[in-house]
A = this chain, B = another copy of it.
Amino acid sequence: MLREDRKRNTKERIVRTAIQLFKEKGYANVTVEEITRLCGIAKGTFFNYFPKKENVLLHVGNSYTELLSGIVHKPREGNLRDRVMAIFRDFLSLYLKHADILRLVLIESIQSATGSADEPTNLAVFQEAIRDLLEEAKNEGALRSRFDSGVCASVLVAIFYQTLISGSASADEAAMAAILQEQFDAAWEGISDE
């Protein structure tokens, strides 16, 4: 259907323009009117596509999907543990490289996850990718674990976000990576020595 194509097109144009402006001037300094003006549409149209200004941020997240996928599927050396940790370090690096926007995207994604979700959130997609990785490793014998892969993925992802949240105050990448590593180790080997 042609209608659908145009709608998708307009939506994408809005997102693209919004990202552009957010990067230039920062989220708070960009008005909806400015976005629509640059898109050549009326202000009201924006709200036909996104119920709130913040909602664009969710779609900004989507534009990173390919990058994330690239990181997950990049071929890596070493044992599973190191490989997984390397993935997280790459994620961290990517996050910090675009921290200004991604910080907002993260918050918004969390927020949308707590509300009754319609679409699967970015967070869920990420977690799913890690789960698949672990599951595959299990099947190949690279991981022995009595816990469900989904549960393990959830734990690892939780730690990752925790690091982003509590670390992004001040710490530099190296410090955050170290924090992440420590927690990662603790979860991987178990908090208790039994």
- Having A114-B168, A147-B182, A147-B191, one finds 9 other A-B pairs with CB under 8 Å, namely A107-B111, A110-B165, A113-B166, A114-B164, A154-B166, A155-B186, A158-B158, A158-B161, A189-B192
For this chain, the copies found in one complex come to 2
Q: A189-B190, A192-B144 are in contact. Are A183 and B155 (CB under 8 A)?
A: yes
User: Is B187 a contact partner of A191 (Cβ separation < 8 A)?
Assistant: yes
CA of A155 to CA of B158, assembled, Å? 8
A175 within 8 A of B: no
User: Is B110 a contact partner of A148 (Cβ separation < 8 A)?
Assistant: no
Number of interface residues of A (CB under 8 A): 47
CA of A35 to CA of B187, assembled, Å? 45
**Given the complex, which residues of B lie within 8 Å of A164, measured CB to CB?**
114
Ordered nearest first, which 6 A-B pairs have the shortest CB separation?
Answer: A190-B190, A158-B162, A158-B158, A147-B186, A144-B193, A189-B190
